[in-house]
Structure 1
Amino acid sequence: MSKQNDSWQVEQLGIDIVPETERSGKPLQLFWIWSAANIGIMGIVYGAIVVSFGLSFIQSVLATVIGIASFALVGLTSFAGKKGRTTTLTLSRTIFGIKGNIAPTFFSWFNLTGWEAVNIITGTMTLAALFQAMGFDITVTTTIISLILFAGLAIIVSLLGQATVIWLQSWCTRIFGTLTLIVVIYIAAITDWDRVLSLPGGNWLTGFLPAVTFVAAGTGIGWALAGADYSRYQSESSSNKRIFGAVVGGACIPLFLLLLTGVLISVQLPDLASSANPIALIGSVLPPWMAIPYLLAATGGVITIAVLSLYSASLNLLTIGVKVKQFVAVSIDAVLVLGVAIYVLFISGDFLDPFIAFLIFCGLFMASWDAIFIYDYFMYRKKLGYDPEAMFGDKNPPVRTLALFCWLLGAFAGLAVTNTGFIDGPFAVGIFKDSSLGLFVSFFVSLIAYAIIPKQSKI
C-alpha cells in the first residue's frame, strides 16, 4: 500500500508480496472496506427475493441471518492475507500449483467480473433514475450518459492505490451509509406490520434452504475469494480476532438492515423481485423530497461495491498469468464488463433471473474452493506460513493434481444436484429438487476429499 501522501497514484504493487515497510494497515480499515461494499441499495432487492421464495417474516429473517453469516468465510480468508502478504488467489497457488491454480482463479475472475457487470448495470439504472428525479426524461441518451459517468468513476478509482480505496470507502460508508439508514428507517416506519407478520410460511426444504443459499452465494461465499486482497496490508500486530470482527461486523451490519428492509417493503411492492429496474421501483414508495437523497445513496453505495469487484478482478487476471501492469488488467476487465452492461441495458433488458442463475452457478465452484483454502490455512499455512517460492518460483509442482481433483469433485458434485437456471443437474430430484442444497454439497465434498488425501501432496 502506498504511503498516504502518495495514495492517489496508480496502484503499482499488483500481486507482489507486500513489503514489511508498507504493512501498516489496521483492522478498522477492513471494517470500512467491507461496510462500504455492503451498503448498496441492491441489498433491499435481496430481501425481496428472499420473500419471493414463499417465506414468512420469521423464515425470511432467519434465512437472512444464516445467509449473511457466510461472511465468516471472508473473515477466515483474511487471516491468510495477513500471513502471506499477497492476494487470495495468489496464495491459492501453494495449494494447486502455479499452473493448476489457473482454473480456480479463472472462476474467481469470472465471478468477480460478473459481479462487476451487475454493479455497473445497477449503478447505471440508479443514476438514470436520479436524472429523472431531477427533471430529465429517461432516454437512450440519458442511459448512455449514466453508463459513461458511473463506469468511468468506478474504473478510475479502481486504478488508484489501496490507500485511496480505503480512504474513499471509509467516507462513503459514513456519507452514503447515513443516507441509506434514513431510507431504511422511513421504510420501516411506513410498513404495514400486520401484513408483514401475517405472511404465510413456506416449505423449509424447497423455500427456506434456497433462500439461504441465494443470500450466502451473493454475500460471503462470493466474497471469500477477495478476503486476503485487502488484509495483505495488515500490520503484524493486528490480531486475527480483531480482523475477523472488523470484516464480519463491517459486512453483516449493513447487510442485515438492508435485507430486512427488503423483506418489509416486499409487502408494498410484491413485484420488486421481478422488476426490470428494482432501484427505481423502491424509490416510487418514497416521498418526492426523499427521492434525490435516496438515489444519491443508492448510486454511492453501488460505486463502493463496483470498485472492490473491479479491483479484485484485475488482481485475479494478473494471478492467471496475464503479463500486464495492474492498470492494464483493470482496463481489460472494464472493457469486458462494459460489453455485458451494454447488452443487458440496451438489448436484452432481462436482469434478475440471469443474475440469480449466475450466483448459484458460480457459488458451487467458489464454495468448493473456499473449503479447500480455509482447511489448508488452518491445518498447514497458519503454522508453516506461505513460501514465496511456492507462489512465484519453481519450488511447488506446476500442478497439484490431487488438490485440483478435490476442487473439481466438489464443484461437479454440487452441479449434479442443482438446477442453476441454465444447467440442470441429473440428480436434482427429491430433496435436491429446487432446494439449492448443492452449495453445501460442493463445500463438504471438497472439504472431506482434501482432508483425506496424503499430507505430502499438500505441502
Structure 2
Amino acid sequence: MSDVQAVEGWRLENSGIDLVPEHECKGRPVELFWVWLAANIGILGVVYGGIVTSFGLSFFQSLLAAALGVASFALVGVTSIAGRRGRTSTLTLSRAIFGLRGNAAPTAFSWFNLMGWEAVNVVTGALTLAALCQALGIAESRLLTAVCLFLFIGLTIVVSLLGQATVVWMQSWLSRIFGSMTLVVILYVASTANWGAIMARPDGDWLTGFWPAVSVIAAGTGISWAIAGADYSRYQRSGSSNGGIFGAVMAGASLPLMLLIFTGVLLSAQIPDLASAANPIAKIGAVLPAWMAVPYLLTATAGIVTMAVLSLYSASLNLLTIGVKVRQAQAVSINALIVLAIAAYVLFVSSDFLGPFISFLLFCGVFLAAWEAVFVLDYLLLRHRQGYDDVALSGDGRQAFRGGPLLCWLLGAACGLLVSKTGFVDGPLAVGVFADSSLGLFVSFGTSLLAYGLYLLLKERRA
C-alpha cells in the first residue's frame, strides 16, 4: 500500500458522517467483497455450526438452515446500495425516514447492538488468543485471559485508527491468509470426521427446531450487519452498479460463513458440547493437531481483529449520528472502554459465553429486524427513485420528528418481543410454537414491513 493510500485512509476516517465528496468516491464493488469476507471469516462461524446442530437437526437440515440464515445478508446488500446513493453512513441515511430527532432512537439502539457485537468479538478474540497460548504450552489461568483481553482490545484500537483504506488493505490480505488456512482445517476435519454418526442424525422438527435455527443464524449474520452496510459502500464510485455491489456483499459474506458453519457441524460430532462450552474456542483448538492449531489460531486472532474493527468503526459513526460532539478518534476510545467493561464481565463474572450471546442476538434482532423492514422498504419504494435529500440527512428542523415511521418500527419490535423469550424480556405470548424459538424475528420484520407499507400507501392517497 502506498503512502498516498494511507494518508487518504486517515483523511476518510476523520470524515465522520459528513457526505463523502464525489471526487473521493473511488471505491469498487470488489473492495466490498473483501470487507464482508473479512467480517465473516472469524472462528465464530465454526461456533455457529455447533449452535445449529444443538437444535436437534440432521446434517442436511443444518446446512439448509445455515444457508437460509446467511441469505439474510441480502439486507446488507440493500443497505450497501443505499450507501452508494446517499454517500453517508447507514444510520445517517435513516434520518430521511425518521427525522433528525426521531432517528435518535433507532440509532441509539443500533449503537447498543454494535457495542454488544464488539464485546462478542473482543471476548472471542481474547479466548482465541488464550487458546493460542495454551497450544504453545502456557497453562490456562485467569491472568492469561486478562492479558489476552487487554492485548486484543489494544490491537483493535490501534488498527481502528489507521483509517479505512488501511483496514481494507489489511482485510484483503488477512482474508487470503486465514481463508487458505481455513480450507486446510476444513479438509482435515472432513477427513477425520465420524461421517457415520453425522449422517445418522435424525431430522429435527421443522417448526420448532429448523426455523428457530434459521432465525438465530440470521440474527447473528445479516440482521446484525445490515445497520453497517452503507458505512463501507459510501465510498463507492457513482458508476458502481447495484448488481455489482449486491453480488460482492453476498459473495463475500456467504462464502466464508457457509464453509465455517459446515466445519462447525462436522466438529459438533467430535465436540458434542460445542454449543454450551464456556470456552468453545479452546475446544476447537484442542481437536486440531499442534502443527495446525498454532497457525490456525494465530490467523484466527488476526481475522477477529478485522471483525472487531468493523464493529468499532460503525459504532463510532453511530455515536456521531446520535449527536455526541466528539472527534471520531475520541468516539472510538469511548466505545473501546465500554466494550472492555462488558467483555471483562462476560469473561470473569458471567463465565458463560454462548448463553448471553444467543440471548443478546435474539433481543437485538427483534429491534433490528423491525428497523431493517422500514429502511429497506423505504429505499425500494422511495429513495431508489428519489434519492436522498441532503437537507433531510443533515437535519431539517421542519421534519425533525416523523412519528409515523417511528411507530411502525416500534410496533414491529413490540410484536416481536411479545412472542419472544430473549433472556432479557420474556413476552407473555411466547407460548406454544414460540415458547422455545426465536420466531419473533420474523414477526417483528413482517409487522413493521406491513405497517410501513400501509403508512406509505395512506400517505400517498392523502397527497
TM-score over 0.5 for the alignment? yes
**CA shift at 1:5, angstroms?**
4.2
| Range with bigger deviation, 79-88 or 176-185 | 176-185
**CA shift at 1:65, angstroms?**
0.6
The answer on whether the counterparts of 2:220 and 2:361 sit within 8 Å (CA) in structure 1 is yes
Match of 1:275 among 274, 277, 280: 277
**CA shift at 1:417, angstroms?**
0.8
TM-score, normalised with respect to structure 1: 0.97
Q: Distance in 2 between matches of 1:40 and 1:350?
A: 20
Q: Distance in 1 between matches of 2:441 and 2:395?
A: 34
**CA shift at 1:3, angstroms?**
5.5
Q: Distance in 1 between matches of 2:398 and 2:212?
A: 39
Match of 1:30 among 20, 32, 40: 32
SS at match of 1:199: coil
| Counterpart mapping for 1:53-452 below 5 A | 53-394=55-396, 397-452=399-454
Cα shift readout 1:169-223 (whole Å, capped 9, x = no counterpart): 1111111111122112211111111110101211111111110000000000110
| Range with bigger deviation, 171-180 or 81-90 | 171-180
**What is the identity, as a one-letter code, of the residue corresponding to 1:296?**
L
Q: Distance in 2 between matches of 1:72 and 1:285?
A: 34
| Alignment correspondent of 1:455 | 459
Q: Distance in 1 between matches of 2:434 and 2:308?
A: 33
SS at match of 1:449: helix
Structure 1 residues not aligned, in runs of 5+? none
The answer on whether the counterparts of 1:94 and 1:396 sit within 8 Å (CA) in structure 2 is no
Q: 1:433 to 1:38 in 2, by over 3 A?
A: same
SS at match of 1:24: coil
Q: Distance in 2 between matches of 1:5 and 1:153?
A: 18
The answer on whether the counterparts of 1:33 and 1:170 sit within 8 Å (CA) in structure 2 is yes
**CA shift at 1:141, angstroms?**
2.8
TM-score, normalised with respect to structure 2: 0.96
| Range with bigger deviation, 339-348 or 7-16 | 7-16
| Range with bigger deviation, 3-12 or 83-92 | 3-12
**What is the identity, as a one-letter code, of the residue corresponding to 2:198?**
V
**CA shift at 1:430, angstroms?**
2.4
The answer on whether the counterparts of 2:135 and 2:285 sit within 8 Å (CA) in structure 1 is no
| Alignment correspondent of 1:9 | 10
Q: Distance in 1 between matches of 2:461 and 2:94?
A: 14
| Alignment correspondent of 2:54 | 52
SS at match of 2:374: helix
| Range with bigger deviation, 337-346 or 25-34 | 337-346
Q: Distance in 2 between matches of 1:269 and 1:431?
A: 29
SS at match of 2:399: coil
The answer on whether the counterparts of 1:418 and 1:432 sit within 8 Å (CA) in structure 2 is yes
The answer on whether the counterparts of 2:48 and 2:217 sit within 8 Å (CA) in structure 1 is yes
SS at match of 2:167: helix
Q: 1:171 to 1:7 in 2, by over 3 A?
A: farther
Q: 1:387 to 1:46 in 2, by over 3 A?
A: same
SS at match of 1:9: helix
The answer on whether the counterparts of 2:9 and 2:162 sit within 8 Å (CA) in structure 1 is yes
Q: 1:242 to 1:446 in 2, by over 3 A?
A: same
Q: 1:370 to 1:350 in 2, by over 3 A?
A: same
Q: Distance in 1 between matches of 2:345 and 2:460?
A: 48
The answer on whether the counterparts of 2:420 and 2:434 sit within 8 Å (CA) in structure 1 is yes
Q: Distance in 2 between matches of 1:363 and 1:41?
A: 21
The answer on whether the counterparts of 1:400 and 1:457 sit within 8 Å (CA) in structure 2 is no
Q: Distance in 2 between matches of 1:7 and 1:21?
A: 12
**CA shift at 1:419, angstroms?**
1.1
Count matched residues.
458
**CA shift at 1:284, angstroms?**
1.2
Q: Distance in 2 between matches of 1:106 and 1:456?
A: 30
Q: Distance in 1 between matches of 2:90 and 2:347?
A: 32
- Identity within the alignment, %: 62
